[in-house]
Amino acid sequence: MLTSNILVLVGLGFTLLPLLLIVPLFLANPWAVLFPLFFLVGGLSMINLGWKSGRKTLHAFRDGIAVQGNVHSINRDHTTTVNGQHPWKLTYHFPVDNRIQSGTITTFNSIVGTFKYGQPLWVLYLPEDHEASTVYPPIK
């Protein structure tokens, strides 16, 4: 959960760096401590948000209800580049209480590129929170 959640990783960076700077800045000028405190609060907020998101996905894997969904769209996310590559963005639809819900997975796994529109797949969702869903078997 920790390594695959980018919000937690970035939040750790925004939290640890200000912690290292607080003492030297306080010794130089007590008012300078306010600058790293903004980053500290932002970092802790990112960790909290990422942790909640990761817990929802794990909760869907453990206690989710399985339904058959289908692939709605597959494309590359050109707004993100890591090591010169763009991740795949898979959007899937699944039925819940006579309504169609949707979910999205962003991954660098090339197997997503082989999926076709309308292809069936298994979706696990939480009955109390339909927004918390994931595809089974998991795609990293």
| Domain of residue 57, residue span | 6-61
pLDDT > 90? residue 108: no
Between 6-28 and 34-63, two packed helices, what is the crossing angle to 10 degrees? Answer: 160
Task: Confirm whether 46 is domain-assigned.
Answer: yes
Q: What percent of the chain has pLDDT over 70?
A: 96
Are 43 and 85 contained in the same domain? no
* Number of domains observed in the structure of the chain: 2
pTM over 0.75: no
Are 115 and 87 contained in the same domain? yes
Residue 4: which pLDDT band, with cuts at 50, 70 and 90? low
Task: Record the tokens describing residue 120, joined without a space.
Answer: 């069936």
Q: Average pLDDT, stretch 85-110?
A: 89
Are 89 and 55 contained in the same domain? no
Are 23 and 79 contained in the same domain? no
Task: Confirm whether 127 is domain-assigned.
Answer: yes
